[in-house]
Structures are given as C-alpha cells and as structure tokens.
Structure 1
Amino acid sequence: MAVRPSVKGTSLCIVTGASRGLGRALALGLSASLQPGSQLVVAARCGEALRELRDGAAAAGSGVDVCPVQADLSGDAGLREVVRAVQRQQQQHGAPDRLLIINNAGELLNPDPTLHPTGPLDNSMHEQARKETGDPELRKMFVDMHRQGQLLTCQESARKLLEILAKDEFESGAHIDYFDP
C-alpha cells in the first residue's frame, strides 16, 4: 500500500470545483493528507457530492473538518457564501499554520481550447472539447491525445500536487504546474 504524502502543520484549505473531476480528486486526497485539526472547505454547485466528500472523510477518521459549501462561484453571492464558511471555520478552530487555496471551479463555456485550455487532463472539459470544438484540426488534436493515452487522470494530477505540498518547497502564492520539477 502506498504511503500518502502528508501536508505539514494544520491547514485551512479551500478547494473550489470540488464536486467532480480534479477538484474532487484533490479534496479526497487532501482529506487524507492534511493533519488532524485541519479544515477543508469544499465548494461547488452540487451540494450532494460535497456532503458525500464530508461523510467519507469523517468515516475514514482523518480528523479533518470538511465543510461543504454549495455555491455557484460565478457570482458574488456564491463567493460571499464561501467567505462566510471560511470565517466560521476560523472562529471554531482558530488560525491555522497555513492557508491553501485551490481555485479549480470553472467550465468550458467556449469549446475553443485556445481560449480555455484544458491541458492534458482527462476530465469533462477535455471531453467537451473533443466533442464540441469547431476547428476540425483542434478537435482532432484533442481526440488523438485521448486515443493515444496522453492525458493524465485527475487522480494522477492530484497525487502530484499533494507530493509538492508535502515537500513544502514552494513559495507562498506560487502557481504550481504539474510539470514543475
């Protein structure tokens, strides 16, 4: 059995887009990797999937407080709801050693990958780009990447980020890319 990387110190972590795909994979990985006493605020439009995440973390006995926030983050009201949840978490638990924000919410509104790159991640956005991209050459590129197995799974990408977080060698505010060493 592989040992999960562990994120040092107590954390307050916010993951948006946590109900499916990469966001869900990250939230699941973090719930097992954060130190007991940490807080994980998971936000997305699908409240049921977020509650399942919370219940799974509680059943696993991780000691991480998972706070689901059903919110549409495309508008101010959703953002305010997440901020209120974070404030409640801090009032209940105090200041953490670190704050981690993983902004993963989004959707492919325009299936032109030059405007909304999905990268080499096998997720619903990539699938939508394979089906709906208007430019035949771009569509073929996405289809070929999928057929040739050139895409990462959400779990592979989440595992890599958790390894980076566990090493604790990144600068505060850094943009972290999967292909960074």
Structure 2
Amino acid sequence: MAEASSSSGAPSGPGLGRAACLVTGASRGFGRSVARLVAARLAPGSLLLLVARSAGALGELEGELRAAYPELRVQALPADLGADEGLQRVARDAADALRRHHHHHHDGARLQRLLLVNNAGSLGDVSKAFVDLASPAEVNSYLALNVTSALCLTAALLQAFPGGPGRRRTVVNVSSLCAAQPFKSWTLYCTGKAARDMMFRVLAAEEPDVRVLSYAPGPLDTEMQEEARTRSGDPSLRQMFLHMKEKGQLLDCEVSAQKLLDLLLTDAFESGAHVDFFDL
C-alpha cells in the first residue's frame, strides 16, 4: 500500500488503498466525521458512497468531498434505510456502483478493499419506559432502521464484493456501551445495539476472511446526545448527560472517528470484537 505523500496536504502514513467505502448516516455527527477522515485516506480511483436520509446535508458533504478529492468517485445515495424501499434501493445502487467501478478499470486499478461503516441509527422514543412500548408498529419500525437495515445492507455488499486473493473486506458496526449495559428508558436503543453486536459476531464466525469490528465511539457531542439529555424519561440519566455536557466530558466526533480510523489502519483488533473508545 503506497504511503500518501504529505506534500499534497494528505495525511502521511498508511492509507486504505484503492477501496470501495460506504458510510451510512453520513450527513451529520459521527458519520460525517468518519466520511471526511476516510476520504483523506483513500487512494485515487476509490469509490466513496454516502448514505443518509437528509438529502440536502448529504449533497453538501458530497460536494465538499468531491471538491477536496477530485481523484475519488464520491456519490450520495439519499434514502430512508428504515423503509423497505429505501433499503432495497441503496443496496441495489451500491452493488451497481461497485460492479460499474470494477468494469471501468483495467486490472491494475481494480478495487482492493471493501469498507462498510454501519453508522445510521436512531435513539427511539426515550421518553417511554418499557411498559409504554406495547405498540408493535413502533417497535418494528425502530428495528427496521436499527437492526434489519444493517444486516441486509451488509449482506448485499458482501455479495456484490466477494472475497478473493488480494481483496480485503472490512465491516464496521457503530455500537455503544448500551450493547452491554441497560439504560433506563432506552429499551429500544439498548436492544438494537445488543442485537447488532451479536449479528456481527456471527458474521465474523462465518466469514473468517471478513474483518468485523463493533466500535463504540463513546459519548459524542451530537444532536442525538442532545435528544438524550432533554427527552430521556429517566431523570438520573438526563442528569448524567447534562452534567457531562456542562463539564465538557462529551467527545468531539472527529476525535472518536480518528480513533476508529487508526484502529482500521493498524488492523490489530480481533474480528467480531466490541472495542470501546475508552479501551484505546
């Protein structure tokens, strides 16, 4: 893997090579930071696919990255992954983009790596206690975005980019402390995160050539965190997050995204493992 030259303003050190990378929830927060840092590490001729619901914000990011990295193919795929139609469209468009990209290049310039970052997610209605969640429609719609879409999109991309000599495949699940620890009034969020961690452990067990990482980015200073400290039904939880915000203990997305990138570049994690920002 060639080192990026630091003279071009690109970060020096190892890069991700010529890769196809897809980031979900890319329009804001952690996903946007990951997309920006990944773009800086991709070799020319790489493909960067950005997925999010908010087409406007996603388009802005697409424009920013295209201007900064003209040697990459950057493509926005606006969609609601919680809806069947949106999920199927992204899976199809991403698979098509991979195949098109593959055929456009002579052998020397083929993609060497697939990197999928499953970041899209929602908190759910955290004003509700467990006993308030009697509506199957609410639960199913939560699981559609937070569990189903991560599984189906990952499966579709692994099908479209099969393994083989000289091809590396890495799948990231953006996880949480909530995958392992119960938080009052966060039934849906904790359930979704626990399910995702296990789902990706099964993938790691089944596919030894796929590198699988569940990364918990820590408490990030984002809109989701604001929702957590204003809407959580549990007063002690609201208080805890309020305190963290006031004390400046929430993490900058960029800082946590950089740790994820370093982890991917050194590639030293155990496949399927849950790694927390604070473990590093």
TM-score, normalised relative to structure 2: 0.59
Q: Match of 1:109, as an amino acid?
A: G
Question: Is structure 2 residue 39 aligned with structure 1 residue 42?
Answer: no
**CA apart distance, 1:4:** 5.8
| 1:2-17 equivalent positions in 2, closer than 5 A | 3=11, 6-17=14-25
Question: Is structure 2 residue 233 aligned with structure 1 residue 134?
Answer: yes
Measured in 2, the distance between the counterparts of 1:35 and 1:174 equals 27
The one-character-per-residue Cα deviations of 1:7-27 (angstroms, maximum 9, x if unpaired) are 332111111101111111111
Give 1:111's match in structure 2, choosing from 102, 120, 126.
126
Q: Match of 2:247, as an amino acid?
A: Q
* Structure-2 residue corresponding to 1:91: 99
> CA contact under 8 A between 1:12 and 1:39: conserved in structure 2?
yes
Q: Between Structure 1 and Structure 2, which shows a larger proportion of helix residues?
A: 2
Larger radius of gyration: 2
**Bigger RCO of structures 1 and 2 (CA < 8 A, at least 6 apart):** 1
Q: Match of 2:123, as an amino acid?
A: L
Q: Match of 2:77, as an amino acid?
A: V
**CA apart distance, 1:135:** 1.6
Q: Secondary structure at the match of 1:73?
A: coil
Measured in 2, the distance between the counterparts of 1:38 and 1:180 equals 31
**CA apart distance, 1:57:** 1.6
Measured in 2, the distance between the counterparts of 1:22 and 1:168 equals 20
RMSD value, Cα: 2.4
Segments of 5+ residues of structure 2 without an aligned counterpart are 1-8, 103-109, 128-177, 191-216
Q: Would the alpha carbon gap of residues 101 and 180 (structure 1) be closer, same or farther in structure 2, given more than 3 Å must change?
A: farther
**CA apart distance, 1:166:** 2.0
Q: Secondary structure at the match of 1:179?
A: helix
**Count of residues in Structure 1 that have an aligned counterpart in Structure 2:** 181
Measured in 2, the distance between the counterparts of 1:176 and 1:135 equals 27
Q: Match of 2:124, as an amino acid?
A: L
TM-score, normalised relative to structure 1: 0.88
Q: Match of 2:249, as an amino acid?
A: Q
> CA contact under 8 A between 2:218 and 2:251: conserved in structure 1?
no
Q: Match of 1:89, as an amino acid?
A: A
**CA apart distance, 1:35:** 1.4
Question: Is structure 2 residue 258 aligned with structure 1 residue 159?
Answer: yes
The one-character-per-residue Cα deviations of 1:30-85 (angstroms, maximum 9, x if unpaired) are 11111111111110111122222222122113522111001001122111111122
Measured in 2, the distance between the counterparts of 1:25 and 1:133 equals 26
